[in-house]
Amino acid sequence: MTFNDSYPNIFDNAKTEISSADKNRLINSLKILSEGKNIESVVDIDSVIKYFAVHNYLCNGDSYTGSIIHNYYLYEEDGRLSMIPWNYNLAFGTFQNSNATSAVNSPIDTPTSGNMSELPMLNWIFESEEYTAQYHDMLEQFINQTDVISLIDKTASMIDEYVEKDPTKFCSYEDFKDGIYALREFCSLRSESIRGQLNGAIPSTSEGQTENKSALIDASSLNLSDMGTMNMGENSVDSRNNQGGKPAFGERGTVPFENNGTESFVPPNSNNRNAEQFDPDAKEEFRPENSTLQTQSYAISSLLLLGISVFVLISGIIIALKLKRR
């Protein structure tokens, strides 16, 4: 039996050229990780904790911590594993979540849709008091040292006039403005909730929040659909109208190989620098049944997504730079 026969979901989907040595090293690391022992020898501790601190702030259910367990890259270097984020267009509670209060208060200590023991790249954090404390410290640094609202405003200002003038945009200029307002409101309330969860005023687990709903931050006035919704390429006017908002924008098509629950292995020091990059748009076609609904069902506003993506990217860079100085 070959490596590819044993681990096809990983090796068949590797994003760079890999050798037998790469495969051996990765398999060994995964075995140690699955045992839950000597985590420090196979996981880049600081990098992964930083990743999950920011990831859990963003409430991206279409991810490793969501019900499908996909949309991420696994990176291995010298036998140590880390995570590379991917596909955050349905972050901020917009993936299968119509309850803004639930999204804003997403529990930081049980941030998964299923059994955390099935997520070896995350579970070790909460199995250790030391690593849980480090994770909490990272969250606190993020919300206290990153001016999220300012980042949103600067990004929105940078693209505002282009959105207004763009004749090919998939939403109106007013929809774009609504999306920015909702994004600001979500992040403001999310930061408030995390502060409360860190100081004990708000339960930080799903069980605790179920038992004490009165402690949660009220986000009932926030319309998550203003930031986009997930409807797998079909029009979701009815679902959005139920929230009192405007017609929703659907996510087009499907995700790449990650939608079967696999992760991609990216080995270090690859010479394949000019490898073809995956372009999800190039492999998908959109054929609306009703052309009059194209702007509603084609995709989340590309420009609003650009702003969100830039916000996430800038946030990550700023956090990394600040934490690097420590």
Could you tell me the pLDDT band of residue 11, with boundaries at 50, 70 and 90?
confident
Residues written for the chain? 326
Domain count, the chain: 1
Domain interval for residue 53: 3-324
Report the pLDDT value the prediction gives residue 298, as an integer from 0 to 100.
37
pLDDT in tens, 39-67: 999 999 999 999 999 999 999 999 999 99
Which residue, among 7, 11, 91, 12, has the nearest Cα to 54 in the 3D structure? 91
Report the pLDDT value the prediction gives residue 314, as an integer from 0 to 100.
60
Angle at 18 between CA 15 and CA 23, to 5 degrees: 110
Which residue, among 254, 214, 255, 209, has the nearest Cα to 233 in the 3D structure? 254
pLDDT in tens, 252-308: 332 333 333 444 455 554 443 333 333 434 433 333 333 333 333 334 444 455 555
Which residue, among 315, 123, 122, 106, has the nearest Cα to 197 in the 3D structure? 106
Phi/psi of residue 80, nearest 5 degrees:
-110, 135
From CA 102, how far away is CA 105, in angstroms rounded? 5
Could you tell me the pLDDT band of residue 229, with boundaries at 50, 70 and 90?
confident
CB 92 within 8 A of CB 183: yes
Q: What is the mean pLDDT of residues 187-216?
A: 97
Report the pLDDT value the prediction gives residue 292, as an integer from 0 to 100.
35
pLDDT at residue 156 tops 70: yes
Which residue, among 28, 288, 20, has the nearest Cα to 4 in the 3D structure? 20
From CA 294, how far away is CA 172, in angstroms rounded? 13
